[in-house]
Amino acid sequence: DIDHLNLRVQKELVEWLNWLKADIGFDGWRFDFAKGYSADVAKIYIDRSEPSFAVAEIWTSLAYGGDGKPNLNQDQHRQELANWVDKVGGKGPATTFDFTTKGILNVAVEGELWRLRGTDGKAPGMIGWWPAKAVTFVDNHDTGSTQDMWPFPSDRVMQGYAYILTHPGTPCIFYDHFFDWGLKEEIDRLVSVRTRHGIHNESKLQIIEADADLYLAEIDGKVIVKLGPRYDVGNLIPGGFKVAAHGNDYAVW
């Protein structure tokens, strides 16, 4: 164990971080198991090393109902993420992985896409509150891969990417999906749509429809994304939009 309250430990870790920046060329930090030490300590490391980007892994359980599925209201869960960023410094480079969005998406793509519209009409995860500070993801080395602790439904992974790569927040692509699963081309097409239309971490999201078999949303008035098996949605797509990417139960205009 590392005693992060020990001033010598803090000093040596800060020196190491600055060495990684100056000599090796790293410019961002990932804070693993950030629940294991206070946000005040993380603030010291960030303030004294000045990375261009920092992201924290704050993985806590969602609130579940008697049916074993997540409650519709996950405000307490995403509040914990927002609190960490607040304490570290909301105006700085600190962000958190959006585990709230991950957990809701896991279930939503299994025929419960209504979950993707919160009670306030916005996205139900961290991106619905503070998208500039939310790093969205479908799976990572803990949840998927060999550890397989909270995996996304494997046959619906591209629905997850269609969501995070068109929505606000900072999307993170999982190495395994990109290089090992044969999804590189599909993911590349979605990345191209995001880049071409300038979708960014604070883009404006308008949810058009959120039913069991259909989620439809418009981003910045430039991109429309559809998730779910419902096929006939032409009456909901404004004129002038053309399909730019599509796959199993998703499409992007």
Q: Which residues contact 30 (CB under 8 A, 6 or more apart)?
A: 54, 55, 56, 57
Q: Which residues contact 2 (CB under 8 A, 6 or more apart)?
A: 9
Specify whether the CB–CB gap between 45 and 29 falls below 8 A.
yes
Q: How far apart are CA 53 and CA 30, in angstroms?
A: 9
As a dihedral over the C-alpha atoms of residue 137, residue 226, residue 167, residue 127, rounded to 10 degrees, the angle is: -70
Marked catalytic residue, from 1, 12, 50, 57: 57
Give yes or no: 32 in active site.
Answer: yes
Residue 151 Cα distances to 17, 29, 62, 125, angstroms: 32, 24, 15, 18
Q: How far apart are CA 90 and CA 216, in angstroms?
A: 31
Give yes or no: 57 in active site.
Answer: yes
| Phi, psi at 252, each rounded to 5° | -130, 130
H or E stretch at 226: strand 223-227
Marked catalytic residue, from 1, 12, 23, 32: 32
Q: Which residues are catalytic?
A: 32, 57
